[in-house]
Amino acid sequence: MEIKKKSPGISAAWKKDDWMAIWIGFIILAVFIAGLTFKPPSFKWMSDITFTNRAKGMVSKVESLSKDARIKGESALAERTSALDTRFKELFTMGRGKPATAFLIAQGFNIGWTLLIAFLIFGGVLFAVPNY
């Protein structure tokens, strides 16, 4: 005589972790899709003149932010805003161009150092190049 095994049924399938994860994921996706309205970013193209005019308008805002940060004693914010307030034309005229020279040498060093590290890591010197 054959004994027939009972199928576990839907209640047993619901109690297993795999099915629970699937149902919870399905519910989360349904709620997410129902409540989400996707709006792609809109880019505004502008000419050089428009960009220059907008940048000139923001200089006074950066200066007032820097002034307020110094008054309130927020040194970190004051340092960041003073870095935004740097005028590169003054670097070339100030101190016979020594600040500009130091800046350009430092940037050249940064670029060279970055390229050297990239070559060592990705060029097969430190790690083997994968064969595809």
46-85 pLDDT, tens digit per residue, is 777 887 787 787 878 888 888 888 899 888 888 887 777 6
Q: What is the pTM of this model?
A: 0.38
Query: 10 Å Cβ neighbour count for 122?
Result: 11
What residues have CB less than 8 Å from 91, skipping those under 6 apart?
97, 99, 100, 103
